[in-house]
Every structure is written in C-alpha cells, then in structure tokens.
Amino acid sequence: MGSNMQDEINNEVPGPRNPPERKGLEEIYKALDERDQESRLDAPSESMLAEIDSEVLREREREFRDVEKHWVRKNGWLRIVKEIAAKKSKVLGKPTGIRYLTLPGYYRLDVSLLLQNHLIEVTEADDSGNPKEIYVAGFEAELTKFGRMETQMPKLKLFGAAKLEDALISSRNKYYLQLKNLFPFDAINMDLTTSLTPRHEGPYSPTLKAIETIFQLQSGNGLPWALFLTFRNVHSEWETGAFDQLTTNLQSNLVEEPRALEAFQKLYNRNRVDELRDSDPINCISQAVAKWLIDRAHAYGFTGTLENCYFYTRYNTAVPYSIYKHLMVFSRAEVNPAQIPTKTIPKQAWMSNDLVEAINRHRPLDVERKLLEISDRAPNSLLDLKEEINSLCKLVH
C-alpha cells in the first residue's frame, strides 16, 4: 500500500458504523459474470461436493471471492508480506520465500496471489522449476471440501482436515505435532468467519487460546512476522465476560499510561472506555482486540504494530454484520538488562510506545465506501478486481 493510501487510512475518523449507500456496488455486482461463478462452484454429480447444497457452498466461497476481501488482500496483506520477505532475504543474504500459515478456502486466493509474486518458499520443484510443494500449512474443517482440495497443485507442506484452532491447542489432534514442528512462520492468516469469543464458548474461547498459542510457538522467530486476523464483529454475539475483561484491561491501561489516555481522548473524544462501549460497541471491540494482541505479543517478548485495520459489511444474512481485519507486524524486542525477568517481562519503554500506537493507528478503513469512491473515479476498477479474482481461481488445478 502506498503512502497516499496510508494517509487516507490515518485520516479515517472512527465513529458509529453506518452502512454506506449500497446501490453503487450492487449495480457493479450485477454486471459480474455470475454464470462463470456458478459454473465454478457447482460440482458435477459424481464429485464429493455434489451432496452439498449449492447455495450454501456458493455463499461460503463468496467469503473468499468478493471484491472487498480481495482489495484488502491485494492492497494490505500483499504489501506487508513483501516487506517481511524482503527483510528475511536481507538477513539470510539471498532471495528467500516466506513460510505461511493460512485458512485458504477452496480457491486458495491468498496462496496464489503470494505465489504469483514469488513470495512463498518452494520446498519441492519439478524439472522445469515449477513448484510442486510449498511451505504453506493450511486447514479445512469441511471434509467434502477438503477431499476436493487435497489434490490441488502445488501441494501444501501440511494440509489438515481439521479446524486450525483444534490443531493448535489440542495435543490429541492428529495434526498437532506436525503443525507445531513447522513453526515459526513468517506470515499467519487467521481468516475466521466467527466472533473471537462466541457466547457459548466462555470468555477464554478456543480461538483466543489458539492466538495465544501462535505467539508461544512464534517465540523462536528472530525475524519480523505478520498476523492477519479477520473476525466477525457483532456485539450481541460476544461472550459478555470476555468483552468486560478486554474493555476493563484497556481502561486500566488508560489509567496507568497518560500518553495512552491522551491518544484515546484525541481519537474518540471520550475519557473512558465504557463511554466508547456505550456509544460505539463495534469500534470498541475492535480497539480492545488490537490492544489484547499487543498485550499477548509483549508476554512473549515481541514488540508489535497495528499496521492497518479494515472493515466492511455483510448484507447476505437477515441481519447485516461487520467483518473486521487487523493487520499486525511483530518483531523480537530487547529487554532492559537492569531487571531480571521473573514470571513476566518487566515493563519496558517499547511496551508503552506499542500501547499508544495501538490506539493512534486504530482507524478502521471502510472498505466498501473506499471501493465506491474508487469506482466513481475509475468505473471499471471493480470489474478489474473481479477479473483478477477469476484469473487467480484458474491457477488452482
């Protein structure tokens, strides 16, 4: 992402999230080649996917193929991965691809995009130099889809028929040791379709445990690495105890760190977290999550930066809901030798800086509105994005 785009993100003013006028994007969507989309998603009768309701499958795959998602993938994630790969290559003294953990979806758009840009480490190539296997760990919990994806080329170093969360936190999971031995990764794409703490899972949900485990397993990484966290942000779905704990933790930081309070007041025009929670709970959740990720990074000796935050609205359900995406970069931090670490790392100056920046940089960019602005200036831009998505789909074989 260029500096102009970064300026636009930094100028985005947080506030209550009201869906923008939908008419423009709907008209563009109608112009897309729906017949091609259906032909790709409807499997032949002899396929294992034939028993799946085609409408359910079509909607599930739209989560990976829509233009909002791909715009973020291309303008946010790709840029960061390029930077991570460049730093790794510089340290190692030779061009080197990244090691990647992801939830790829059937069309593996993120994997194909990174491969197309020569960013993924190739672990096995054919006689012509084309990749046969790449250093990617991916997971798909739906067995019918997994069966169809298992033969896709190039092969992933690990492709598991399980939930990523289970493979990370359950020692009984068949992929637990395989995945653990592949760490550390250079880039991790936690592209979730649920809330981070659904009500039925308790405050410390399997998803939060999985994220904690990622930091633990990444602790052997001396190079910068990136985390791309996507989650469904619906206030009513959050486990109340978890939301209370996250916002209370953020409030305690504001009390202890005057610079953080100053940043919070300037950004939100509020003095307390509960005021933001009452007026804009969705934005409050997003801010609290960003702060929690920084906390967990600090616990394992990493300094962290919230590079970008994005959101867009899903309208394909009875009640529209928001998808939020946090793009973060972490690197090993130095601990002041004046204090001996005991149970936790003594508070460091860089920890305070990270906290302040996690607030300053939390300016969620409304992707849908951004795309409408782009389409006004360049009417074919979204169609071009869709064509790019389709071309990446064709790379799956």
Q: Is 341 within the bounds of a domain?
A: no
Query: What's the number of CA atoms in the CB half-sphere (13 Å) around residue 202?
Result: 4
Angle, alpha carbons 16-18-21 (nearest 5°) = 155
Mind listing the pLDDT tens digit of every residue in the chain (397 residues)? 444 444 444 445 454 455 444 445 555 555 444 434 444 444 443 333 344 344 444 444 455 568 999 999 999 999 999 999 999 999 999 999 999 999 998 999 999 999 999 999 999 999 988 999 999 999 999 999 999 999 999 999 999 999 999 999 999 999 999 999 999 999 999 998 777 876 666 667 889 999 999 999 998 888 999 999 999 998 888 888 888 999 999 999 999 999 999 999 999 999 999 999 999 999 999 999 999 999 999 999 999 999 999 999 988 777 788 999 999 999 998 775 555 555 567 777 889 999 999 999 999 999 999 999 999 999 899 889 999 999 999 888 7
Angle, alpha carbons 312-66-118 (nearest 5°) = 105
- Residue 255: its pLDDT value, please? 95
Q: Is 162 within the bounds of a domain?
A: yes
Q: Is 260 within the bounds of a domain?
A: no
For residues 30 and 310, give the distance between their C-alpha atoms in angstroms, rounded to a whole number.
Answer: 24
Which region, left, alpha or beta, applies to residue 269 given φ > 0 means left and ψ of -120 to 50 means alpha? left
CB-based contact 330:293 (threshold 8 Å): no
Q: Which tokens is 383 given? A: 């169609």
- Residue 55: its pLDDT value, please? 42
pTM: 0.84
CB-based contact 288:261 (threshold 8 Å): no
Q: Is 169 within the bounds of a domain?
A: yes
For residues 176 and 169, give the distance between their C-alpha atoms in angstroms, rounded to a whole number.
Answer: 8
Q: Which tokens is 57 given? A: 């499958």
- Residue 90: its pLDDT value, please? 95
Distances (CA, A) of 293 to 304, 355, 364: 8, 10, 16
For residues 333 and 351, give the distance between their C-alpha atoms in angstroms, rounded to a whole number.
Answer: 9
Q: Is 206 within the bounds of a domain?
A: yes
For residues 103 and 208, give the distance between their C-alpha atoms in angstroms, rounded to a whole number.
Answer: 16
Instruction: Tell me phi and psi for residue 119, to 5 degrees.
Output: -110, -10
Residue 20 preceded by cis peptide, ω within 30: no
Q: Is 231 within the bounds of a domain?
A: yes
Q: Is 295 within the bounds of a domain?
A: no
CB-based contact 115:82 (threshold 8 Å): no
Q: Is 86 within the bounds of a domain?
A: yes
User: Total structural domains in the chain?
Assistant: 1
The residue segments making up the domain with residue 82 are 3-237+304-331+368-393
